[in-house]
Amino acid sequence: MIIKSVFDKEFAPYGTVIDYLDTKGLVEKMKRIGYEDGVKYIPSIAELESDDVFSILQNNVYGGMPIQIGMCYGHNTKLNCLEYHRDSEINIGENDFILLLAKKEAVIDGKLDTSAVDAFKVPAGVAVEVYETSLHYAPCQASLCEGFRVAIVLPKGTNTERPSSPVLCYEDSLMTARNKWLLAHSESDEAKGGAVVALTGDNIDIRNFLG
């Protein structure tokens, strides 16, 4: 697998770099949160939402829609799953990290072959928008020597408790949380916990591509 940069032209179908945000304060706040052995995600963190960049993210980037800033952090080199939302997601890393992404159009008959997944490195402090049509999941670390801390910006309420709605179609069976549809690989903990196995092919592991 070739790990490209979010500044390469190949990233354009998946998202874009937001170059007008001052993320320094947010990054400093992220540094105060420790790493986990695995991967941990908190949808909303008051300290991060108190940063000055919050109002710009909410009013400029999301056009006035209520948002939340949480964080995903820990150690990870595997794909395991892919998810999507009904909106874009903004990612800002305290250090370099790697995104594993696929296009929603690659889902055929409810399944996605992991050969359709691309890898992109995001430099520390750079804000990237991952489009609604881009499937993604937990970031991967960019170095074997350290984990990752990535601020996750989403519409308020995303990734919280799943609504108690009936399953009317196949897509409904993929919904594992509010505004979250998940495709799991059979080797993932999520699949073992009951998530729908919808990823075929290898469970991508970028460990051998890291220095």
User: Rounded CA gap, 150 and 136, in Å?
Assistant: 13
DSSP annotation of 59: I
pLDDT for 161 equals 96
Residue 211 has pLDDT above 80, yes or no: no
CATH numbers and ranges of domains, the chain: 3-158+203-209 (2.60.120.10)
pLDDT for 33 equals 83
Give the chain's mean pLDDT.
96
Region 94-99 average pLDDT: 97
Residue 35 has pLDDT above 80, yes or no: no
Share of the chain above pLDDT 90, in %: 94
pLDDT for 59 equals 98
User: Rounded CA gap, 106 and 147, in Å?
Assistant: 29
Residue 167 has pLDDT above 90, yes or no: yes
pLDDT for 37 equals 77
